[in-house]
């Protein structure tokens, strides 16, 4: 009987300790060592209430404006930190020094602009998400040399360029998302250090052309998103090394022609893997290569009948696929 009472007391103490270790307004899941603070009136990171055994923290839709190294020191075993849609404006230098096991850091939807040097040092990050903030300049000093990051998402910011010095620190990168920025160019050879890159998203920027060598080291690239830019000219050998590419989006650009041979290296395109819609195609003799490629590779094209002539006047609105050799003056 006494042993049963003692066991009950220990169990009660354990449960009480668990309750005390969970921050107010948050929910804690002991089995997963997870803490979730969702849509609650927090103004500071709840470090004082966190158990040292916590491995996953999710704080979203709160009024937190900053986070410091000292606050993260409360959870030395932390592996994942998700801080979606808060009001973060500041991160402290050496932010991750006290969380040497952190694998994933997601800062989507905050108000971050200028980040301090060394902010992402000290932890073996594999996934870093800075999506939908107010960052105007990417800095190589954020990261250590030979960073372990494989997934970097900086979409939805105000970047006009990405320094090669930053990319040189990312030899293990597999996914790079720079969509919805203000990029005007991708410097020649800047992607060369990223020879493990599989997915590159440059959608909705201000690119008007790409250097012929920019993808020369991207042998493992399988998904390439170039839609919603101002691309009006593509180098003939741009896709020369992309034999693994499964999906290529070029819709909503300013392409009137593409050079002969441009699409020939893309032998791995999946069904409907190429999108060329919403471009101002000039349906004259120069469109011969594209017209013939489409005839042979129709299944690889998304909405092939949606590739529409913008000129000459006699063919405006016609699908390129529907035209005959005589209409394109290709017989001679």
Tokens of 291: 């017209």
Give dist(CA 223, CA 201) in Å, integer: 8
Place of tokens 């690239």: 221
50: left (phi over 0), alpha (psi -120 to 50) or beta: beta
pLDDT at res. 3: 44
Task: Count the neighbouring beta carbons within 10 Å of the beta carbon of residue 178.
Answer: 23
Query: What ranges make up the beta strands (E) of 12-146?
Result: 27-29, 34-38, 56-60, 66-67, 80-82, 90-91, 104-106, 127-129
Task: Count the neighbouring beta carbons within 10 Å of the beta carbon of residue 31.
Answer: 5
Give dist(CA 283, CA 273) in Å, integer: 23
pLDDT at res. 329: 78
Closest CA to 143 of 193, 215, 186, 207: 193
pLDDT at res. 11: 37
Exposure letters 240-272 (e unless 16+ CB within 10 A, then b):
bbbeebbbbbbbbbebbbbeeebbeebeebeee
pLDDT at res. 326: 86
CATH code, 186-332: 3.80.10.10
Give dist(CA 290, CA 241) in Å, integer: 20
Closest CA to 66 of 39, 99, 32, 90: 90
Tokens of 252: 């909503």
pLDDT at res. 9: 35
Strands 90-91 and 104-106 come out as: unpaired
pLDDT per residue rounded down to tens, the chain (332 residues): 444 444 343 333 344 343 447 999 999 999 889 999 999 999 999 998 899 999 999 999 999 999 999 999 999 999 999 999 999 999 999 999 999 999 999 999 999 999 999 999 999 999 999 999 999 999 999 999 999 999 999 999 999 999 999 999 999 999 999 999 999 999 999 999 999 999 999 999 999 999 999 999 999 999 999 999 999 999 999 999 999 999 999 999 999 999 999 999 999 999 999 999 999 999 999 999 999 999 999 999 999 999 999 999 999 999 999 998 888 877 65
Those residues with Cβ within 8 angstroms of residue 255's Cβ, 6 or more apart along the chain or in another chain: 231, 232, 233, 234, 276, 279, 280, 281
């Amino acid at each position: 009987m006494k042993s049963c009472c003692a066991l009950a007391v220990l169990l009660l103490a354990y449960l009480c300790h668990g309750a005390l270790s969970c921050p107010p307004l948050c929910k804690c899941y002991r089995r997963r060592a997870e803490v979730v603070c969702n849509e609650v009136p927090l103004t500071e990171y709840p470090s004082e209430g966190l158990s040292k055994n916590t491995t996953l923290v999710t704080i979203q839709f709160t009024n937190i404006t900053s986070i410091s190294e000292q606050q993260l020191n409360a959870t030395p075993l932390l592996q994942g930190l998700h801080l979606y849609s808060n009001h973060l404006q500041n991160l402290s230098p050496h932010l991750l020094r006290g969380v040497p096991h952190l694998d994933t850091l997601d800062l989507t939807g905050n108000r971050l602009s200028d980040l301090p040097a060394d902010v992402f040092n000290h932890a073996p990050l594999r996934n870093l998400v800075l999506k939908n903030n107010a960052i105007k300049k990417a800095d190589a000093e954020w990261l250590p040399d030979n960073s372990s990051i494989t997934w970097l998402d900086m979409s939805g910011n105000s970047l006009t360029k990405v320094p090669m010095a930053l990319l040189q620190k990312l030899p293990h990168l597999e996914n790079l998302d720079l969509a919805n920025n203000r990029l005007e160019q991708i410097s020649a050879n800047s992607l060369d250090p990223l020879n493990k890159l599989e997915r590159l998203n440059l959608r909705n920027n201000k690119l008007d052309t790409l250097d012929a060598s920019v993808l020369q080291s991207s042998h493992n690239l399988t998904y390439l998103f170039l839609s919603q830019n101002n691309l009006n000219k593509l180098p003939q050998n741009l896709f020369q090394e992309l034999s693994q590419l499964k999906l290529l989006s070029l819709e909503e650009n300013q392409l009137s022609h593409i050079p002969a041979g441009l699409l020939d290296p893309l032998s791995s395109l999946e069904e409907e893997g190429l999108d060329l819609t919403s471009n101002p195609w000039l349906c004259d003799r120069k469109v011969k290569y594209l017209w013939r490629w489409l005839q042979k590779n129709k299944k690889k094209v998304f909405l092939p009948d949606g590739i529409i002539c913008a000129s000459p006047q006699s063919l405006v609105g016609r699908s390129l696929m529907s035209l005959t050799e005589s209409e394109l003056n290709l017989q001679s």
